[in-house]
Structure 1
Amino acid sequence: MHWLFLFFALACFAVVFKTTSLGVAALCLLLALVFALAWVMGLVNARVASRTRDEVQMVDPAELRRLREQAQARKPPPSAP
């Protein structure tokens, strides 16, 4: 979806180069800026979303406590000198 914003920004730039009206050129430049910013934000959003962890893999506090207790039970007792 965010690639459409890039296409729209490029289309606005093409209109700027082809038009002879100053008002249309200014409007299209403004639209091109908005579409370019929307494209960048969509690109960043897609990248962040692809790197997030799955919530199913997160450990809840009760499971973390159980794992700590298991790890402490496996440790050998400290030897007295």
Structure 2
Amino acid sequence: MKANHLLIMAINKLTEKIQLHILKMLSKQFMYPEEIIENCISDLGDEIKTNNPKLTIKNQLKELSDNKMIAYYHGYKITPKGKSKV
């Protein structure tokens, strides 16, 4: 049970780190999804220890979009709500 709790905490920490990294990148410029994924993998690659890092990052993009932190219109940009988190 304790191992599961530690795993969940590690996953939550990783997702927060990926989301914050995405928000910081988008606070500087508009980006296409593939650019975001490539930059996250190159910057955080060693820390993303999942079977499919691209899918992990895509899931975080979706979560940020669902939470209205970023918006998609031919690419991603940060919203005022997202800027408040950076």
- Normalised TM-score (structure 2): 0.29
The structure with higher relative contact order (CA 8 Å, sep 6+) is 2
Instruction: Give the greater-gyration-radius structure (CA).
Output: 1
**Structure richer in strand, relative to its length:** 2
